[in-house]
Amino acid sequence: MTASVPRAALGIEGLHKSFGDLEVLRGIDLDLAEHEVVCLIGSSGSGKSTLLRCINLLEPIDAGRIVVEGDEITATGVDVDRIRRRIGIVFQAFNLFPHMSVLANVSLAPRKVLGLGRAEAEARATELLDRIGLADKRNDYPDRLSGGQQQRVAIVRALAMQPDLLLLDEITSALDPELVAEVLNLIRELAGNGMTMLIATHEMGFAREIANRVCFLDAGRILEIAPPAEMFSAPREERTRQFLQRVIDAGRL
Amino acid sequence: MTGGPLDPGHLIDLGIGGPRRIRRRLPPGEAVRSTLIALVSTAVVFGLLAIAVTSSPNWADVQDKFFNGAIFSRSLPKIVEAFGTNVAMFLIAEVLTLILGLVLAILRGLPGPVFFPLRLIATVYVDFFRAVPGLLIVALLGFGIPGLGIEGVPGDPFLWGLVALTLVYAAYVSEVYRAGIESVHWSQEAAARSLGLNRLQALRYVIVPQAVRRVIPPLLNDFIGLQKDTVLVSTLGVVEIFRESQILKQAAFNFTPYLDVALVFVVITIPLARLTDWLVARDRARHASNR
Ligand SMILES: Nc1ncnc2c1ncn2[C@@H]1O[C@H](COP(=O)(O)OP(=O)(O)OP(=O)(O)O)[C@@H](O)[C@H]1O
Ligand SMILES: [Mg+2]
């Protein structure tokens, strides 16, 4: 028997994306194994958010392929709504639904998309909220919660769909420093439970600690990809070094 | 509220206290003083106006022809009774308008080339019915359709008046909805779609509920217009408030019944206008406290 190669949870080949004349992604190739955590780093405007949005099919792509658990999701004629169920995404700005209670936020998609009954969906949502210590806030509206609490609800809302893959886009950037830890702890726990994640982040310390591999995105290309120990102590590329130096100068490492 | 109805803070609440400013509690002495100033200046302004009007040369004549107390109170019961027709018409039209307007707004927002024909139809519809005077639509439908004499098509002028007003106001209301839908940040739709909701579900559960909350004040505004425009169906011979007042005017050779009509509209519109102001103020306060 041949050694079993872990099946790719996510495969990206030759991904190109432009906004008008601006070519934002210029040929991205990236594979994530199951249970792998990969952090995307890179300066502002390098295309991190765009990459995540393309994977979730929130942006149409210009060229290339994206494969999730063996299914090509960028093929023509696929049901994008089915695909999005399998891929969770959490945004920097939380994007909770302000007109719904926390419980309704978390149970909406399981009810309307997965077809769960109200009682079951709410029981599951309550269980998830309990895990992040917010079950007692389930009837509150999002604007009554702190930023950290809102972001954790947003994460749990994505988890309620039991996605195969979770995309996180700078989920702590909009938070006050003292609220960052509670959100990162939750991500740590998810990583510990084997959730496959692709995380765009400016928190280099966190990337170093949690990532199996770190990916440096520069002007729409993956310039360097390496385990965090290598990436942060001995980057191969000059541009990676410059970027990390700027981060150190800014006191973020 | 601890102050009386003329407490300046209260006036601001009702939306007649002038441009909205940060509400502050006035110390008692100052509150009394500003209430007095408001009262005195109001009395002076209206007093001067009254003197100017009543001292005009033909005032006695005009007073008898337009402000005849006896005719006013004699006409009022009939006017109020006829107003029932207007009320029935605008209540039904408002419900239908809300539904048709939302459908039009959603059609106009459908993406992609497949839906181009629907977008086109909705756009032309809205442009047309906002451009053509409502009176013309009322007359075209009210006289035109029964005039065709098609078997099975009712000729009831109330019905066609109702249809005409609904068609016209749905165009306005759809624009209000559309502005509301566009004011919901795109990231809300992204969040909904990323959870696997399809476009219609995202609209139904996420976008439209937020949009509607925001546009309630402008919707009420359009309703005030719709309520007044129910008098247009008088041209079709429907005996509603304005038609009734014309009949009474003819009978008495006196314009005072029009005053009855004006009074009735003022009485039903002012609460709606104040409700609108209150909703706007509440919304603004809520936004201010959130961010
Ligand atoms: N919808 C859009 N239309 C036009 N240009 C866009 C759009 N979205 C992103 N861009 C552009 O694409 C480039 C990459 O943006 P992106 O948001 O992916 O960067 P990023 O790496 O996430 O940056 P940051 O660290 O600031 O979040 C930027 O130049 C941005 O202005
Ligand atoms: Mg970004």
What does DSSP assign to residue B152? T
Q: How far is the CA of A184 from the centre of ligand 2 (A)?
A: 18
As a whole number, mean pLDDT of residues B22-31 equals: 70
Q: Kindly state whether residue B2 falls inside one of the protein's structural domains.
A: no
Reported as a single tens digit per residue, the pLDDT across A93-117 is 999 999 999 999 999 999 999 999 9
Facing residues of A16 across strands? A26, A63
Q: Kindly state whether residue A146 falls inside one of the protein's structural domains.
A: yes
Instruction: Give yes or no for residue B22 having a pLDDT over 80.
Output: no
Chain A residues 214-243 with CB within 8 Å of chain B: none
Q: Rounded to the nearest 5°, which phi and psi values hold at A222?
A: -85, 110
Provide the pLDDT for residue B16. Answer: 53
The separation between CA B142 and the C-alpha centre of its own chain, rounded to angstroms, equals 23
Which range has the worst mean pLDDT, A236-245, B18-27, B116-125?
A: B18-27
Which of A92-101, A173-182, B54-63 is the most confident on average? A92-101
> Percentage of chain A surpassing pLDDT 70?
96
What does DSSP assign to residue B140? I
Q: Are residues B115 and B228 in the same domain?
A: yes
Q: Kindly state whether residue A233 falls inside one of the protein's structural domains.
A: no
Instruction: Give yes or no for residue B246 having a pLDDT over 70.
Output: yes
Q: Kindly state whether residue B237 falls inside one of the protein's structural domains.
A: yes
Report H helices in A177-217: 177-192, 204-210
As a whole number, mean pLDDT of residues B20-47 equals: 80
Q: Are residues B75 and B42 in the same domain?
A: no
Contact B264, B80 (CB under 8 A): yes
Q: Which of A173, A231, A166 is nearest to A193 (CA)?
A: A166
* Token duo for residue B202: 């995202």
Provide the pLDDT for residue B9. Answer: 45
* Token duo for residue B48: 């001067």
Angle at A146 between CA A140 and CA A152, to 5 degrees: 85
- Asked if the C-beta of A81 comes within 8 angstroms of chain B's C-beta atoms, the answer is yes
Q: How far is the CA of A49 from the centre of ligand 1 (A)?
A: 7
Q: Are residues B136 and B202 in the same domain?
A: yes
**Distance (Å, whole) CA B150 – CA B153:** 6
How many domains does one find in chain A?
Answer: 1
pLDDT-derived band at A178 (thresholds 50, 70, 90) equals confident
Give residue A157's domain range: 96-163
Average pLDDT value over all residues in chain B: 87
Reported as a single tens digit per residue, the pLDDT across B278-291 is 887 887 776 655 44
User: Smallest CA–CA separation between A56 and chain B, in Å?
Assistant: 7
Average pLDDT value over all residues in chain A: 91
Give residue B195's domain range: 68-289
Instruction: Give yes or no for residue B4 having a pLDDT over 60.
Output: no
Instruction: Give yes or no for residue B13 having a pLDDT over 90.
Output: no
Q: Kindly state whether residue B189 falls inside one of the protein's structural domains.
A: yes
As a whole number, mean pLDDT of residues B75-83 equals: 93
- Asked if the C-beta of B196 comes within 8 angstroms of chain A's C-beta atoms, the answer is yes
Name which of B190, B205, B290 is nearest A108 (Cβ-Cβ).
Answer: B205
Mutate to test the pocket of ligand 1, among A18, A22, A215 (most ligand atoms within 8 A of CB): A22
Please tell me which residue of chain B has the smallest CA distance to A106: B195
Helical axes B208-229 vs B69-108, angle rounded to 10°: 140
Instruction: Give yes or no for residue B133 having a pLDDT over 90.
Output: yes
Q: How far is the CA of A172 from the centre of ligand 1 (A)?
A: 18
Provide the pLDDT for residue B10. Answer: 47
Q: Kindly state whether residue B87 falls inside one of the protein's structural domains.
A: yes
Q: Kindly state whether residue B59 falls inside one of the protein's structural domains.
A: no
As a whole number, mean pLDDT of residues B26-30 equals: 75
Contacts of B187 (CB under 8 A, 6+ apart): A91, A93, A95
Provide the pLDDT for residue B18. Answer: 55
Q: Do B195 and A56 touch (CB under 8 A)?
A: no
User: Smallest CA–CA separation between A206 and chain B, in Å?
Assistant: 25
Provide the pLDDT for residue B149. Answer: 81
Reported as a single tens digit per residue, the pLDDT across A118-176 is 999 999 999 999 999 999 999 999 999 999 999 999 999 999 999 999 999 999 988 88
Q: Which residues of B touch A91 (CB under 8 A)?
A: 187, 190-191
Provide the pLDDT for residue A162. Answer: 94
Q: Which has more pLDDT, B214 or A88?
A: A88
Provide the pLDDT for residue A253. Answer: 61
Reported as a single tens digit per residue, the pLDDT across A14-54 is 999 999 999 999 999 999 999 999 999 999 999 999 999 99
Q: Kindly state whether residue A91 falls inside one of the protein's structural domains.
A: no
Q: Are residues B81 and B134 in the same domain?
A: yes
Q: Are residues B74 and B215 in the same domain?
A: yes
CATH code at position B209: 1.10.3720.10
Q: Are residues B250 and B141 in the same domain?
A: yes
Q: Are residues B224 and B82 in the same domain?
A: yes
Neighbours of B250 (CB within 10 A): 10
Q: Kindly state whether residue B60 falls inside one of the protein's structural domains.
A: no
Q: Kindly state whether residue A61 falls inside one of the protein's structural domains.
A: no
**Distance (Å, whole) CA B92 – CA B95:** 5
Q: Kindly state whether residue B63 falls inside one of the protein's structural domains.
A: no
Q: Are residues B48 and B157 in the same domain?
A: no
Q: Which has more pLDDT, B202 or B110?
A: B202
Instruction: Give yes or no for residue B72 having a pLDDT over 80.
Output: yes
Neighbours of B221 (CB within 10 A): 16
Contacts of B167 (CB under 8 A, 6+ apart): B100, B129, B137, B141
Strands A221-226 and A213-218, by their bridges, are antiparallel
Q: Kindly state whether residue A145 falls inside one of the protein's structural domains.
A: yes
Q: Are residues B49 and B96 in the same domain?
A: no
Strands A71-72 and A196-200, by their bridges, are unpaired
**Distance (Å, whole) CA A105 – CA A154:** 8
Q: Which has more pLDDT, B257 or B277?
A: B257
What is the helix (H) or strand (E) element at residue B213, kind and residue range?
helix B208-229
Instruction: Give yes or no for residue B12 having a pLDDT over 60.
Output: no
3-state secondary structure of A30: strand
ipTM, two decimals = 0.90
As a whole number, mean pLDDT of residues B38-48 equals: 91
Placement of tokens 């994206």 in the chain: A66
Instruction: Give yes or no for residue B131 having a pLDDT over 90.
Output: yes
How many domains does one find in chain B?
Answer: 2
Provide the pLDDT for residue B2. Answer: 41
Q: Are residues B188 and B113 in the same domain?
A: yes
Provide the pLDDT for residue B61. Answer: 87
Rounded to the nearest 10 degrees, how much is the dihedral formed by the CA atoms of A53, A54, A60, A63? 160
Provide the pLDDT for residue B3. Answer: 42
Q: Are residues B195 and B247 in the same domain?
A: yes
Q: Kindly state whether residue B248 falls inside one of the protein's structural domains.
A: yes
Q: Which of A148, A201, A153 is nearest to A179 (CA)?
A: A148
